[in-house]
Amino acid sequence: MTVMEFEEMLLHDFFLKLYYHNLKEEHSYRTTAELVRLQTLTLVNIQLLKKDKIKDPRLLWVFPWERDRLENTQERKEMNIDSIKNGIVLDHIRAGQSMEIYRILELGELDCTVAIIKNVNSLKMGKKDIIKIDAELDLDLAVLGYIDPGITVNIIKNGEMVEKRHLRLPDEVRGVIKCKNPRCITSVEQDIEHVFRLRDRENRVYRCIYCESKAK
């Protein structure tokens, strides 16, 4: 572009030209990066036995522009939501914690199919558990958030995920933690509900509202 062409250019045309220039540069960068990855994969596979050869270049490393698409595809594959028409999938459960959630939420009392999938390979977590509930119901999100705020609650309707709820540490937990202080009123009066409030979010500290004992 000459100086004269630049001076005569309208602002709209300038930004349009800049946009397409950046688009072209980004495409060139991505093409080069993916080519380097493919060449690296070829060199790595030369050293491997046939049964150990890597087929997917993304197993070497994932580029930022691939991550969201790959994670969404991988999550759907991991959760296998196609097996649920209407229901809930609890995803990103820390490996080995699914049975505790099953017990606390009393999922065994439900008159529907509940599937627990343990030690699923995960891009984000390495290993994780998944719980699939083949029914629509209201879950106690406060309890789930207390157990593990990293859990995601996926709502399935007509075989499609229509909503993903991210949890947080609840400000108050009722009927889940029991106060261990023998002098607490909850130890004397058995009918009093155990209630704990969040006192330190950063360190996940909950204390009994009656005696201020720390939850264990």
- Do 123 and 182 belong to one domain? no
Q: Which two tokens stand for residue 104?
A: 């606390």
**Is pLDDT at 209 greater than 90 in this prediction?**
yes
Q: Global pTM?
A: 0.57
Range of the domain at 181: 172-208
**Residues 71 and 158 reside in one and the same domain:** yes
Same domain? For 76 and 162 the reply is: yes
Looking at the fold, whether 76 and 148 belong to one and the same domain comes out as yes
Asked if residue 196 and residue 176 are part of one domain, the reply reads yes
- Number of helices and strands in the chain (H, E): 6, 8
Spell out a b/e string for 88-100, using b for 16 or more CB atoms within 10 Å of the CB, else e: bbbbbbbeebbee
Question: Per-residue pLDDT tens for 2-42?
Answer: 777 777 778 877 788 888 888 888 888 888 988 998 999 89
Q: For position 186, what pLDDT does the model report? A: 92
**Measured distance CA(86)–CA(92) in Å, rounded:** 20
Write down the pLDDT at residue 76. 54
Q: Which residues contact 81 (CB under 8 A, 6 or more apart)?
A: 89, 132, 154, 156, 159, 160, 161
Q: By the 8 A CB rule, do 161 and 81 touch? A: yes
